Amino acid sequence: MNNKIIFEKIIQKKTSKNIIYQDKQVTAFYDIKPQALVHFLVIPNIYISSLNEITKKNKDIVGYMMYIAIKIAKQLKISDSGYRIVVNCNKNAGQEIKYLHIHVLGGEKLNNIN
């Protein structure tokens, strides 16, 4: 199955994925392979393959995705202790699914990125 289709099914609620938050613009859900105690994704409800596809027309979605990530981090009580936001862009950066998404990791001490 195309990975893009997995995210589209989550948005349409056609899968059992645990959705944390959803509105007209974005959907947030827990990662199936968590890399931290708390690990969720925020995706736009419109298809954008990667950060490289951000244009003047759709640029506001990235800021909104960040806003929702912060809002959820506060709700999950990881904002005070700290969390990490990661966006992988294309293959060499580790983007496995060709659909723009923000990883939010926290809930424990994370390894430093040097």
Q: Catalogue the active-site residues.
A: 101
67: left (phi over 0), alpha (psi -120 to 50) or beta: alpha
Kindly list the strands in the beta sheet with 26-30, ordered across the sheet, starting from the edge strand earlier in the chain: 19-22, 26-30, 38-44, 102-106, 83-86
Residue-wise DSSP of 44-83: ESS---SGGG--TTTTHHHHHHHHHHHHHHHHTT-TTT-E
Residue that the structure tokens 């950060």 belong to: 51
